[in-house]
Amino acid sequence: MQHQKTWRRGVQLGGTALAAAALVTAGTIVPASATHAHRGASGHASRPSWCGPKKATIALADGFGDNTWRELTRYSAVTTAAQCPSITQYTYTNGQGNTQKAISDITSLVAQGVTAIVDFPDAGKAMLPVLTKAYQAGTIVVPYRVFPGGKAGTNYNAYLSTNFVSAGVLWGKSVAQALHGKGNVAFLGGPPANSQSLEEYQGLESVFKHYPGIKLVGQTPYNVTNWDPATTDQVVASLLAKYPKIDAFISDFGTALGGAFPQFKKAGRQIPVIATEDANSLGCDYYSLKKSNPNFELFTVSSQTWMVEYAMRYAVALATKGKVPSSTVVPQQNYENSVTGQPHMPVCEKSLPATAIDSSGLSNAQQLAALRGVIPSLASLRH
């Protein structure tokens, strides 16, 4: 029997009040997309407190937009912008993993006179000069999730962060317990030197130092995947070929890791303990593969595709003179645990593709549209 998405559905049936930065119910952060009906300004939804009266334009600038996490993020971002009638235009740019293009995108947005830019600075500190230049030119600049260096008030208006060290700690504890303190562990991260993967590594190290029987294998601090599914597939194949015994894989992009599961069969190996961010494919694979892979346990934290909504609301508040959220930090939470079932057993939604992310807070229809690349416009969301 498949476990349905009781977490997300329960949220949709709950209240609609949003706290300034993070709505917490029974210890679980509620994505804004799960509590809003995504009605536009012309609908019946009331104007949120973070939406002020001043007209403004806003952009989401991705350093790399070519994976399913970003597709869902794009959908959440524009639906958030649409909730504020003062936003007259929404723009999206994709740096395609090319630092120079990502820099050029920011420069172009400033030249176009965009009021506010929310940026995912995949290239990390390499993006700081252009973000600083944009900020000094009078553009509202809100980087999120990956730290670009610098500080708020000098290089940008605010940095919306999450505690990636905490994610590493949560994964590390789950893996250490599942392995009874002994085994080889491979950690897969994103682009080189990105702050997210580095902080997760710090969290893992803080746990594993208490377990001398656990050894991290491969590249340190992490095996670079660039958050790209094809690269992840290659990295997993390479690790399996090099190390005859790997007892656990930890990754900060669950969909990509799940896509690499066929490499285990090709290598004549069983799927071991997996700790990562949630993805529909992982939950479904757990139920279909557990019997033939008895050591397969699944531990996930929320993928936080909805984190962009907090960054958008912060930027919109600054741009429109709305009520600025009081916090710039979004906490991490465990999502699935196949051993304890807390807070959930692995989740599989058969009506959604493998690339869906169950904790996104988006409805099934919204996820299906996003994963097809069908991103709504402001106008369509407001009618």
Token pair in block for residue 288: 């279909």
Q: Do domains 6-163+305-333+364-374 and 164-301 have the same CATH topology?
A: yes
Superfamily of domain 6-163+305-333+364-374: Response regulator (3.40.50.2300)
Question: With a threshold of 0.85, does the pTM exceed it?
Answer: no
Q: What's 164-301's CATH class?
A: alpha beta
Residue 38 has pLDDT above 60, yes or no: no
pLDDT band at 29 (very low <50, low <70, confident <90, very high): very low
> Are 303 and 360 contacting, i.e. CB atoms less than 8 angstroms apart?
yes
Percentage of the chain surpassing pLDDT 70?
A: 88
The confidence score (pLDDT) of residue 49 equals: 97
**What tokens were used for 337?**
């645990």
SS3 316: helix
Mean pLDDT of 277-295: 97
Confidence grade of residue 169 (pLDDT, cut at 50, 70, 90):
very high
Structure tokens at 82: 């649409």
pLDDT at 45: 57
pLDDT at 247 over 90: yes
| Model confidence band, residue 46 (pLDDT cutoffs 50, 70, 90) | confident
Q: Mean pLDDT, to the nearest integer, of 206-223?
A: 98
Helix axes 68-82, 307-320, angle to 10 degrees: 30
Q: What is the chain's mean pLDDT, rounded?
A: 89
**pLDDT surpasses 70 at 329:** yes
pLDDT band of 383, cuts 50, 70, 90: confident
Going from N- to C-terminal start, the domains of the chain cover: 6-163+305-333+364-374, 164-301
Q: Using the predicted structure, report yes or no on whether residue 8 has a pLDDT greater than 90.
A: no
Per-residue tokens: 134: 């944009």
Q: What DSSP string runs through 258-296?
A: HHTTHHHHHTT----EEEEE--HHHHHHHHHHTTT-TT-
Confidence of residue 137 (pLDDT cuts 50, 70, 90): very high
Encoded tokens for 286: 């757990």
Tokens in use for 163? Answer: 């505690």
